[in-house]
A and B are shown apart, each in its own frame.
Chain A
Amino acid sequence: MLFRILKNSFLKRPKAVFLVFLSITMGAAVATAFLGIAGEVSHKMALELRSYGANILIEPSAVEGGGFLREEDLPGIKTVFWKYNITGFTPYLFGIAEFSAGGKTERGVVSGTWFNKGLEVPGEETTVQGIKVIAPWWDVQGSWPAAADEAIVGAALARRLKIGVGSEVATTVRERTQRFHVSGIVTTGGYEEEQLFAPLVTVQSLLQRQGKVSRVLVSALTVPMDDFGKKDPATMSKDEYEKWYCTAYVTSVAKNVEEVMAGSRAKPIWQIASAEGALLKKLNSVMLFLTVLALGASATAVSTSLMASMAERSPEIALMKAVGADRFQISAIFVGETLIISVAGGVVGYLLGDQLAEIISRTVFNSTIASPLWLFPTAIVSAFIVAIAGSVAPLRRALLIEPVRVLKG
Chain B
Amino acid sequence: MNRRRWLLQLVLRALAHRKGRTVLLLAVLAMASSLATALGIVSTSMGKRVAEEVRKYGANLIVIPESARLDVGSGGLNFGVVSEPAYLQQRLVEDALARSGLKAERSFHLRGALHWKDADLMVEGVNFADIRRLFPWWQLKGNWPAAGETVVGSDLATRLKLTTGDTLELVGKSQTLRLRISGIVSSGGEEDGLLFLALPELQQALGLDGQLTLVRLMVTAGGDSLKKSAAALQLLLPSAKVNEVRQTARTSEGLLAKVKLLMIMVTAVVLVSAGSSVAGTMSTTVLERSKEIGLMKAMGGTRWEVMLIFCGEALVLGVLGGLAGYIFGSAIAQFITRTVFSASAEFIPWFTGISLGVSLFLALLGSVGPMIAVFRLDPVRSLRGE
Instruction: List chain A positions with a Cβ less than 8 A from chain B.
Output: 15-16, 19-20, 22-23, 26-27, 29-30, 33-34, 41, 48-49, 51-54, 56-57, 59, 63-64, 92, 94, 96, 107-109, 111, 135-139, 156, 187-195, 215, 217, 267-275, 278-279, 282-283, 285-286, 289-290, 293-294, 297-298, 300-302, 304-305, 307-309, 311-312, 356, 359-360, 363-365
Asked if A27 and B277 sit within 8 Å, CB to CB, the answer is yes
- A63 and B155 in contact (CB under 8 A), knowing A286-B336, A364-B261? yes
- A269 and B189 in contact (CB under 8 A), knowing A108-B82, A286-B336, A305-B277? yes
Asked if A364 and B77 sit within 8 Å, CB to CB, the answer is no
Report whether over half of chain B's contact residues are helix, strand or loop; otherwise say mixed: helix
Instruction: Please count how many residues in chain B sit with their CB below 8 Å of the partner chain's CB atoms.
Output: 86
- In the complex, chain B residues whose CB is within 8 Å of the CB of A309: 284
- Rounded to whole angstroms, the CA-CA distance of A156 and B20 in the bound complex is 74
Which of B69, B138, B340 makes the CB contact (< 8 A) with A286?
Answer: B340
- In the complex, chain A residues whose CB is within 8 Å of the CB of B76: 57, 59, 215, 269
Which of B56, B79, B283 makes the CB contact (< 8 A) with A19?
Answer: B283
- In the complex, chain A residues whose CB is within 8 Å of the CB of B53: 275, 278-279, 282
Asked if A279 and B75 sit within 8 Å, CB to CB, the answer is no
Asked if A301 and B277 sit within 8 Å, CB to CB, the answer is yes
- In the complex, chain B residues whose CB is within 8 Å of the CB of A107: 82-83
- A301 and B281 in contact (CB under 8 A), knowing A94-B79, A137-B251, A273-B137? yes
Asked if B273 and A286 sit within 8 Å, CB to CB, the answer is no
Which of A22, A217, A286, A301 makes the CB contact (< 8 A) with B46?
Answer: A286
Asked if A271 and B57 sit within 8 Å, CB to CB, the answer is yes
A229 CB, nearest partner CB in chain B, Å: 12
Asked if B341 and A282 sit within 8 Å, CB to CB, the answer is yes
- In the complex, chain A residues whose CB is within 8 Å of the CB of B83: 107
Report whether over half of chain A's contact residues are helix, strand or loop; otherwise say mixed: helix
- In the complex, chain B residues whose CB is within 8 Å of the CB of A195: 79
- A275 and B137 in contact (CB under 8 A), knowing A191-B72, A191-B77? yes
Asked if B262 and A191 sit within 8 Å, CB to CB, the answer is no
- Rounded to whole angstroms, the CA-CA distance of A403 and B73 in the bound complex is 81
- In the complex, chain A residues whose CB is within 8 Å of the CB of B73: 188, 190-192
Which of B38, B273, B278 makes the CB contact (< 8 A) with A29?
Answer: B273
B60 CB, nearest partner CB in chain A, Å: 9
Q: Which residue of B lies closest to A394 (CB)?
A: B20
- In the complex, chain B residues whose CB is within 8 Å of the CB of A293: 35, 38-39, 270, 332
Q: Which residue of A lies closest to B18 (CB)?
A: A311
A352 CB, nearest partner CB in chain B, Å: 9
- In the complex, chain B residues whose CB is within 8 Å of the CB of A16: 284, 287-288
- Rounded to whole angstroms, the CA-CA distance of A274 and B58 in the bound complex is 11
- A360 and B262 in contact (CB under 8 A), knowing A217-B77, A268-B188, A286-B46? yes
B31 within 8 A of A: yes
Q: Which residue of A lies closest to B53 (CB)?
A: A279
Stretch at the interface among B1-9, B242-250, B304-312: B242-250
Stretch at the interface among B106-114, B252-260, B347-355: B252-260
Could you list 28 A-B pairs, sorted by A, with CB under 8 Å? A29-B273, A48-B255, A49-B255, A51-B255, A52-B248, A53-B75, A54-B74, A54-B75, A139-B250, A190-B72, A191-B77, A193-B70, A193-B243, A269-B188, A270-B188, A271-B74, A272-B75, A273-B137, A273-B188, A283-B50, A301-B28, A301-B274, A301-B277, A301-B281, A308-B24, A312-B285, A356-B269, A360-B269
- In the complex, chain A residues whose CB is within 8 Å of the CB of B272: 26
- In the complex, chain B residues whose CB is within 8 Å of the CB of A53: 74-75, 247, 251
B27 within 8 A of A: yes
- Rounded to whole angstroms, the CA-CA distance of A139 and B32 in the bound complex is 45
- In the complex, chain B residues whose CB is within 8 Å of the CB of A268: 188
- Rounded to whole angstroms, the CA-CA distance of A212 and B100 in the bound complex is 48
Asked if A270 and B187 sit within 8 Å, CB to CB, the answer is yes
Asked if B77 and A192 sit within 8 Å, CB to CB, the answer is yes
Which of B259, B261, B285 makes the CB contact (< 8 A) with A363?
Answer: B261
Q: Report B20-59 residues with CB < 8 Å from chain A CB.
A: 20-21, 24-25, 27-28, 31-32, 35, 38-39, 42, 46, 49-50, 53-54, 56-58
Asked if B189 and A190 sit within 8 Å, CB to CB, the answer is no
Asked if A278 and B56 sit within 8 Å, CB to CB, the answer is yes
- A282 and B72 in contact (CB under 8 A), knowing A109-B82, A192-B77, A300-B31? no
Q: Which residue of A lies closest to B266 (CB)?
A: A290
- Rounded to whole angstroms, the CA-CA distance of A191 and B69 in the bound complex is 8
B225 within 8 A of A: no
B368 within 8 A of A: no
